[in-house]
Structures are given as C-alpha cells and as structure tokens.
Structure 1
Amino acid sequence: MPYKVYNGKTGVVYNVTKSSVGVLLYKIVGNRYMEKRVNVRIEHVKHSRSREDFIKRVKENAQKKRQAREQGVHLHLKRQPAMPRAGHLVTTDGNVPETVTPVPYDTHI
C-alpha cells in the first residue's frame, strides 16, 4: 500500500494499468474530505463485501414476493428495527440475591 492511512479504505477504481489500478479515495484532513487518487498494485486490492448482505436480502425478498403473489397474500418485506424485549417477572425463589462489594485497595508492595 502507498501509506498506512489508506489501509482498509474503500474507494472507486478509476484507472487500470498493466500491474496496478488507480483508486479514488476520500481522506479526512482537518474538517474536510480530500479526494485522493492513489495507484495501488493489484495484489493489494480486493472487492468490498459491504453489498453482499444487501444483494442476498434482495434475492430472498424477490423469492418471498413471488411465493406471496402465487398464494395471493400480502407480505411486508421492509426491515424492522429491533423491538424491545418482552417483559418478564424476576423472583427470588431459589435465586438468592448476591451482595457485591468492591475489593479494598492494597497499598503494600
């Protein structure tokens, strides 16, 4: 890699040569983003995996939609945020509370 700050960054390939690729990156400098164009050898480049879950979800939704259309049912496919967990009652039957005290600071060496 050209410099340690670019390690692991995601960018867009804008130029391809025999032994390297030109990558367009954005680097934070002070309070702004600067566009940097770096030439990187091909061995140091790999595809971003950030879209894999999205593509998988799109394919699964298409299949679910197809099945719902065949059965004639309405299906909600939008993602839902994690809802609060269901409430439950905590009892002390067979579950004696444990008192926790801090360990005293020892100054002896």
Structure 2
Amino acid sequence: MKTYKVGDIVDIKANGSIQKGMPHKYYHGKTGVVYNVTKSSVGVIIHKIVGNRYLEKRVNLRVEHVKHSACRQEFLNRVKTNAAKKREAKAKGETVFLKRQPAKPREARIVKTVDNVPQTLAPVPYETFI
C-alpha cells in the first residue's frame, strides 16, 4: 500500500476485481491531483472537457483504483540532473544550457547501387483453389 498526500499527482486506473469506489469509465486513464485523503479512499480533482470549457470534477475513489503518476518522478529526476549540471558548470566557470530540445531529424543517408542492383517488386497473383 502506498501513501497518498494532498497535492500528489495520480493516475486513475480502475481495478476490475474491486467494485467499491470504482471510477466511471470516463475517468479511467486520466491524471488528477489529490485533494482529500481518508482511510480507504482519496479525492481527486480532474479537469473534464464539456462543450467548449474545462470543468473541475471532484471524484472520490478507493486507493486500489489510483497510482502515483510517473510524470512527477520524471520532473524530479530532471530537476536533480539540472542541479548537478549547474554545480559542475559553476565550478568550471561556464554557462550551461538546461532547456529540453525536441529530437532532431536524422541525418541523410546515401544508398549506393554499385553491387546492390535495385529490384523491381510486383504483387503475387491471387490464386483460388477449389
């Protein structure tokens, strides 16, 4: 059993073997923030799209149907690595670039046709066996 505190980011994942405190199917797979904790359940705030706006929905769920979100852990890991990079750069007297960059396009490749003759492909004719 994991402990949940107010402000934790959680993913809702319904467990079919426990029917009590189960979320509606809409909330399965959604991420929210814990706003209330009781001995066997947690209250989660979720933003639901209704029409052209977001509504804040408060859902009470049993702890079997929620789990800590990995997005928060990724953020904390990034904060640690950035702090380490800053310390190293400060010791060396350099500036460090901490912004995340999107993946760049792959470099171009050249396919040589010497000893690698292109092959013409054709579909296999359809045969019926009766």
- TM class, shorter-length: 0.7 to 0.9
Q: 2-side partners of 1:94 and 1:51: how far apart?
A: 53
Structure with the bigger RCO (C-alpha within 8 Å, sep 6+) is 2
Of residues 59, 62, 65 in structure 1, which corresponds to 2:80?
Answer: 59
Q: 2-side partners of 1:29 and 1:108: how far apart?
A: 55
Per-residue deviation, 1:84 = 2.5
Give the aligned partner of residue 38 of structure 2.
17
SS in 2 for 1:11: strand
Per-residue deviation, 1:20 = 1.2
| Cα distance per residue 1:56-78 (max 9 Å; x no partner) | 12211111111111112222222
Give the aligned partner of residue 95 of structure 2.
74
Residue 99 (structure 2) pairs with residue 103 (structure 1): no
Give the aligned partner of residue 15 of structure 2.
none
Q: 1-side partners of 2:34 and 2:74: how far apart?
A: 22
SS in 1 for 2:124: coil
Give the aligned partner of residue 25 of structure 2.
4
Q: 1:88 to 1:8 in 2, by over 3 A?
A: closer
Q: 1:40 to 1:80 in 2, by over 3 A?
A: same
Aligned length: 109
Q: TM-score, normalised by structure 2?
A: 0.68
Residue 105 (structure 2) pairs with residue 84 (structure 1): yes
Which shows bigger deviation, 25-34 or 67-76? 25-34
Of residues 41, 51, 62 in structure 2, which corresponds to 1:41?
Answer: 62
- Unaligned runs of at least 5 residues, structure 1: none
RMSD after superposition: 2.3
Which shows bigger deviation, 77-86 or 56-65? 77-86
